[in-house]
A and B are shown apart, each in its own frame.
Chain A
Amino acid sequence: MKKIIVACGGAVATSTVAASAIKDLCKANQIPVEIIQIRMSEIESNLDGVDLIVTTMRIKKDFGKPYVNGMAFLSGINKETTEEQILSYLK
């Protein structure tokens, strides 16, 4: 089971859009995942066992975990590249 943090700045709204896209992506690639949806400010205290961090807001801080910018799930721009990037960290 892979553990992914999906976070956005404001509330849970945009991260829900990204999280649902990632869920579908992993399902299609038969990768079991646990998705933790939190605010950006809560990432630090939820890093235990996390395989990947995806955010809809750019983060400047390095949490020592693989990171992918998930804005493509909102804008649709470069969505395939983002999907490939995510899969590469989970395989």
Chain B
Amino acid sequence: MNMTNLLNEKLICLDGTAADSTEAINLLGTMMVQDGYIHPSYIGAIHKREINFPTGIVLASCGIALPHATPEDNVFKNGIAVLRLKQPVQFHSMENPDDNVSVTLLFMLALNGSENHLNMLQKLFAIFQQETLVQCMQQTTSAKEVCQLMLDNLK
């Protein structure tokens, strides 16, 4: 997979505010649309998928969500957008859709090609399992640092 475009500082927002999960997803989607990664219809597909297969996950130190959809012709280049919220919003839990997860860190995935997608996902979860990395993403004020941290660990 071409990694050069996967992340950039324009896809990272570390001081976001959103009233709910819908607004948070729209914030992420807008960043990706503005930087030419996705067609706006991909955001709609994500909202739809989130209802049936929610993506909230409880980690050791915080709640995260991985909003994504199956790319059709609406993902132009592979990318991951990151949003950190000042106040958490509620997502439904991937493990049990009846449960809620308070989410402060969101990663929107727009990844074409199933094989690469799975490989990337494994590496992403490896990041989420390292508490020091998650804590760094929770605390840093530098989008550049988040970008670098993720790229280093997704190689």
Q: Does B138 contact A (CB under 8 A)?
A: no
Q: Does B144 contact A (CB under 8 A)?
A: no
Determine the main DSSP class of B at the interface with A: mixed
B49 x A74 contact (CB < 8 A): no
List CB contacts (< 8 Å) of A26-80 with chain B: 56-58, 69, 71, 73-77, 79
Q: Does A85 contact B (CB under 8 A)?
A: no
The complex places the Cα of A16 from the Cα of B58 at a distance, in Å, of 19
Q: Which residue of A lies closest to B130 (CB)?
A: A76
**Contact size class for B?**
20 to 34
The complex places the Cα of A10 from the Cα of B122 at a distance, in Å, of 16
Q: Does B76 contact A (CB under 8 A)?
A: no
Q: Which residue of A lies closest to B96 (CB)?
A: A58
Contacts A16-B122, A75-B129 given; indicate if A10 touches B53 (C-beta within 8 A).
yes
Q: Does B86 contact A (CB under 8 A)?
A: no
Q: Which residue of A lies closest to B55 (CB)?
A: A10
A12 x B118 contact (CB < 8 A): yes
> Which chain A residues lie closer than 8 Å to B131 at the CB level?
76
B129 x A76 contact (CB < 8 A): yes
